[in-house]
Structure 1
């Protein structure tokens, strides 16, 4: 399985960013790490390994970018407005420096996005904000309400990066064309969050697959089972 490491200075984030890329051909899948994870986490925790067959067959290429959660939602040392602003910059970074570049190189209009735990939030938030750029969204044990990270503070950056708030009001036609999977475990700490998002999608008549795994907890063994199964739907 071909693996490449990239490091560059991001003008959007004003910092160095790293990304691992796995594969030599195939449909692009952006895989976000968990809460404080970096570009190597999904490889080190064997999530990329679970998709080896798809990568080696040239069906997909997996892109694992850094997160900056330690500078945004999880940075308790700065004002909530700055946390939300920093995440808005990250969203811009993913669009301009990752997705647009991939689409230009491959001659595509859309990519797939996925991630476990907080990476599931990242995938869902990006997909629902930019459905014109996302064909498939696979969330694995994601949580989708970030208001707990900002307390009583609220502004446009909070609203437009909080899927349970902005999605009910979105009418972008590509939402109804996206292939959406909400994967979660029966004993998952994010079970209620997934049921809530499933309710929003149902109310809007947006097609999706709610995949609840019996006797499963919020952890890597569950996600390592989910990921290749969802990739088979590409």
Structure 2
């Protein structure tokens, strides 16, 4: 069966006149919410060969990808803003996911279904952060080559509550009590990273992934870490291979 690729759909950003786009690939199967790399668009996942890397799963009806635009250009990539201002802007992106994207996905599916989130580079941060904060909607995240500490992203200014609650390294470290028990029971995180070009500098992805896996371990949150070799670069050909290696067991 051939891939069902929907036209780009524009969904409203709550409280604004703006829209951001979503594109679906696949006709059936486990729904995967896909975040692009920094400042990317919904088109990037297919455009960089990621759908073709798991074409057999798509054609067999085992997986459907729901690829979203980023809002990084007016949040995390806007270096004119302080880190706290960028984190506050990110809250609006989260509202878009909650109020526009997830309902649209459920409409497409004909009902609610547990999502997988995935993304590469900054998209890995988005995927992991969304699962940790919305495990009732997306209990599994696959983060590839991510940096999970927003305070290392060329930021400036003082860090307040918005930064704390947007920063997995901080808020997971601070989890306790009933909330931690809920996350342990509902969320699962797969962290994948290479040791090759650009995974160390300038992205800090390798060290951040190792550090964040330790935080998850310390908190007893279900997770896996898969560190690839020194030839595994911060680039699409390797992310294609990583997705093709891991996704089949989840769908």
TM score, norm. by length of structure 1: 0.93
For 1:88 and 1:172, the matched residues in 2 are separated by 24
Q: Does structure 2 retain, via aligned residues, the 8 Å contact 1:103–1:111?
A: no
Q: Does structure 1 retain, via aligned residues, the 8 Å contact 2:144–2:193?
A: yes
* 1:69 equivalenced with 2:72 (yes/no): yes
* 1:158 equivalenced with 2:160 (yes/no): no
Q: Does structure 2 retain, via aligned residues, the 8 Å contact 1:129–1:160?
A: no
* Structure 1 segment 145-184 matched on structure 2, within 5 A: 145-149=149-153, 150-170=155-175, 171-184=180-193
Q: Deviation of residue 172 (structure 1)?
A: 4.7
Q: Which residue matches 1:194?
A: 209
2:132 to 128, 139, 152: 128
Instruction: Identify, as 1 or 2, the structure richer in strand.
Output: 1
Relative to structure 1, is the Cα distance of residues 79 and 195 closer, same or farther in structure 2, using a 3 angstrom cutoff? closer
* 1:210 equivalenced with 2:225 (yes/no): yes
How many pairs align? Answer: 234
For 2:160 and 2:59, the matched residues in 1 are separated by 44
Q: Which residue matches 2:243?
A: 227
Q: Does structure 1 retain, via aligned residues, the 8 Å contact 2:66–2:105?
A: no
> Aligned with 2:38: secondary structure?
coil
Q: Deviation of residue 79 (structure 1)?
A: 4.3
> Aligned with 1:124: secondary structure?
helix
Q: Does structure 2 retain, via aligned residues, the 8 Å contact 1:19–1:66?
A: yes
For 2:195 and 2:82, the matched residues in 1 are separated by 35
> Stretches of 4+ moved more than 6 A in 1?
none
Unmatched tracts of structure 2, length 5 or more: none
For 1:200 and 1:100, the matched residues in 2 are separated by 32
> Aligned with 1:133: secondary structure?
coil
Relative to structure 1, is the Cα distance of residues 166 and 218 closer, same or farther in structure 2, using a 3 angstrom cutoff? same
Q: Deviation of residue 231 (structure 1)?
A: 1.2
Say what the alpha-carbon RMSD is for the aligned residues: 1.7
For 2:150 and 2:43, the matched residues in 1 are separated by 24
* Structure 1 segment 27-176 matched on structure 2, within 5 A: 27-103=30-106, 105-149=109-153, 150-170=155-175, 171-176=180-185
